[in-house]
Structure 1
Amino acid sequence: MTCMQLLLYSYPYVTRFDLRRLMGQKIKLTKSTIDKLPIPQMGARVDYFDTDCKGFGIRVSSNSRRFFVLKRVKGKLTRVMLKPYGVITPEQARVEANKAISKLYDGIDINAEKAKDNLKGMTLADALKKYFETKTLKPRTVENYGDLFRLYLDDWLHKPISGITKEMVATRHLNISNQNRKAAANNVMRTLRAVYNFANELHDDTLPPNPVKRLSNTGQWNKIERRQTVIPAKQLPQVFQAIQKLENPVIRDYILLLLFTGARRREMACLRWESVDLEAKIFTLMVTKNGKPLILPMSNFIYDIFNKRKALRENDYVFPGHGKTEHLIDSRKQVNAITQITAVEFTLHDLRRTFASNISGTVVGGYELKRLLNHSFGNDDVTAGYVIHSIEKLRIIMQEATDHLLMLCTAGKKINE
């Protein structure tokens, strides 16, 4: 849009002669002349320049009138916005404009200085908010990071991020660890480290060294052993029977599918009916840890579970819930009930390990197991790039895995015996 067209749009009732007079018009910026300036339509802005102070002007829009300075410095046209008309008078604005022009001629980047001044007061909460706005993160990650800061760093959120010291980090990490939350202590400090590095980049590396370095330099990080628990094969019949006796059919079928597919709990909980094809006997886990959809075939036993779920369908989710997510969230009550009956303690993720450990090597090979579990193949694993698994080939493997697990769960007996 040309300047003439823009002004015609802004002032539909002004003649072309008047528009030519308005374009680039220089006026003596006084209270009287500013009050008489026409107001443009919504979305349009018009600049007027002062006759006495070169580069000093006022920008008029439908809802504001703000003074500015416009100068070419080192070949670059630079606009510095001053305070709005009404907050300062034209006379005060002219004084501020002369100061700004003097700085610009001295090579000072006023806009960059303003940005740095804004960053100086950046709090931890500000940095976290900016981190979320800039990074491409999964909603679950955003929720987890927010929870960590809210639960363990709530009293730091409104402190300047530059004021967080090594001593503060070391003490807080130790306090959280002493509450039997060693993994949480590590996680919150790793998150703080990432947010601090991000804020330091915004500050052009002017923040103090990352205070979380103290934990590495002193060896304070907690050593967390990876959980390796599974349900022992000899206890699978007890657990299997207890699962089948659960009164809640949604959670009963949910736990059974976790055991017989090795899926992660959230992957299965977020499964929608639109991702289930009963005719083709396949289902697709869309919400996965690595972000890659996982298409899995159904064994006969798994197909029967989905059929039962379909007959009891309540909403768009295979495992419906009553909260705002509309899908199943918490099954701890039922897991605890199974433990009370069987004296076997386990978590939902233990079901994934139980699935993998019982079929690995005996029923499926390493590449097939990785495919079923949606594990990524390393970049250095050249062979994996040549191993292509069709759904029908995986169906045979899934059926063999199901049959093997059913044999263990029923001690060789048929399910209805």
Structure 2
Amino acid sequence: MDPRAPARKSDSDAAAVDLPSIGNPTLRIAWERYRDGHMKNKGRSDGTINNYRDHIERLLADWLDEPLSKLGTDPSLVTVRHEKLSKENGTYIANGCMRTLRAVYNHARKAARTLPADNPVSAIDWNAEHRRNTALGLSDLGEWFTQLAALKNPVRRELHLFMLLSGHRPEAIRKARVEHVDFRARVLHIPRPKGGEVKAFDIPLSRAMIRCLVRVMRIGRALYAEQSREWLFPADSQSGHIIEHKEKRSDLSKWGNDLRQTFRTIAQTAGVAELDVHLLMNHSIPGVNAGYITRNKLLSDHLRQQQEAVSHRMLEAGRPRQKEIKPRACAWPTLPSRRLLSELMSGKGLAAANVFGGSSR
């Protein structure tokens, strides 16, 4: 007989190991473990997490307290739900919801080996998906610039223009901060794009993009003095920046990812190489050899020249009707652009005229 008293487990250890919930988790518990143990640890963006949350907590809300084993042993429940979502919510969101459920189930089964090995989502017939062709062509840009100039909110006008000129995702641009703009290096840093912090990158700024940012900073100081200290595209919202970028199609025909597709299309007409487009848009670089390219080494000269070519092509195409989008006179504060730019520059070694290429604006 061992005379030593058995070791007593602490309350924290007992709380940390909840065998019933791990061995046969409900959808709610499996989702929380996937969210906190996988997505947040991998640095997934808030937008990605919120998208997954919408799938689980809204579209599959009635399943939250159901054990995953119920779905695993009866995949017909999943196929029926997929068909229902396809009819009521749309084919694309139905597919997206099932991809989320598949990921949560696979993650849960790492700890719950009693769950059926076959993922129940494998039983569905996926809806056909086609890439949306919503880009503007060169001949369409003139009308789009006219629509843009007619928008009442000057901050939103500059937001849409910058998204067109940069070709980046709306969420990343909406959340851009003043501190992330480096006018000396002529870049805008995106610290948490899609994919999380490990995908952080810098957007090279053309002259047109710099003028756009200077204008919106001037407007922000006049309209949203407090919010403009932190955000590039400020608004009177809880977060302090523009939350929703969508417009009525009757007011602005293309916005958001439509402009991202437009950037890709116009870059092709401007003669920008395929690899350079991937780098400018922060896409994954195809091929093994291309993976050895150091993106930051190309920012200061090559990629900025390519960005300049795309911006020039866009503004040239829109020039017959609208030479360049400017906020209405009533929205402009009295602070000159050169003076504001000199304040934003961290040093005095680079004159504003050099940044603007000699322009007085």
Q: Counterpart of 2:29? A: 126
1:214 counterpart (115, 123, 131):
123
One-letter identity of the residue aligned with 2:57? R
2:304 counterpart (395, 403, 406):
395
TM-score if structure 1 supplies the norm length?
0.66
Q: 1:282 to 1:122 in 2, by over 3 A?
A: closer
Q: Counterpart of 1:370? A: 278
Matched, 1:318 2:232: yes
Q: 1:81 to 1:367 in 2, by over 3 A?
A: closer
One-letter identity of the residue aligned with 1:268? I
SS in 1 for 2:251: helix
SS in 1 for 2:31: helix
Q: 1:368 to 1:399 in 2, by over 3 A?
A: same
One-letter identity of the residue aligned with 1:368? D
Matched, 1:223 2:128: yes
CA contact (8 A) 1:145 1:191 kept: yes
Gaps of 5+ in 1: 1-52, 58-69, 71-78, 84-110, 340-344
TM-score if structure 2 supplies the norm length?
0.76
**Alpha-carbon deviations, 1:341-385, whole Å to 9, x = none?**
xxxx43411111111211215331112211111112124244863
Q: Counterpart of 2:249? A: 336
**Alpha-carbon deviations, 1:255-299, whole Å to 9, x = none?**
000111111111111111011123443222223224422323322
Q: Counterpart of 1:161? A: 68
Pairwise mapping of residues 269-288 of structure 1 onto structure 2 (< 5 A)?
A: 269-288=174-193
Gaps of 5+ in 2: 222-227, 327-361
SS in 2 for 1:283: strand
**Alpha-carbon deviations, 1:143-202, whole Å to 9, x = none?**
211111122110000111111221110000000001251111111111111111222221
CA contact (8 A) 2:186 2:205 kept: yes
SS in 2 for 1:376: coil
Q: Counterpart of 1:350? A: 258
Q: 1:378 to 1:223 in 2, by over 3 A?
A: same
**Alpha-carbon deviations, 1:319-353, whole Å to 9, x = none?**
113333322111323x43424xxxxx434111111
Q: Counterpart of 2:94? A: 185
CA contact (8 A) 1:276 1:284 kept: yes
Q: Which runs of 4+ in 1 moved over 6 A?
A: none
Larger radius of gyration: 1
CA contact (8 A) 1:301 1:402 kept: yes
The whole-number CA distance in structure 1 between the counterparts of 2:93 and 2:9 is 46
Q: 1:378 to 1:414 in 2, by over 3 A?
A: closer
CA contact (8 A) 2:267 2:310 kept: yes
Q: 1:416 to 1:231 in 2, by over 3 A?
A: closer
**1:55 Cα offset (Å):** 6.2
One-letter identity of the residue aligned with 2:123? R
The whole-number CA distance in structure 2 between the counterparts of 1:126 and 1:239 is 47
Q: 1:134 to 1:55 in 2, by over 3 A?
A: farther
The whole-number CA distance in structure 1 between the counterparts of 2:3 and 2:57 is 48
Q: Counterpart of 1:37? A: none
Q: Counterpart of 1:293? A: 200
Matched, 1:236 2:141: yes
Paired residue total: 306
Return the structure number with greater strand share.
1
Q: Counterpart of 1:10? A: none
The whole-number CA distance in structure 1 between the counterparts of 2:179 and 2:165 is 21
* Larger deviation, residues 234-243 vs 292-301: 292-301
Q: Counterpart of 2:170? A: 265
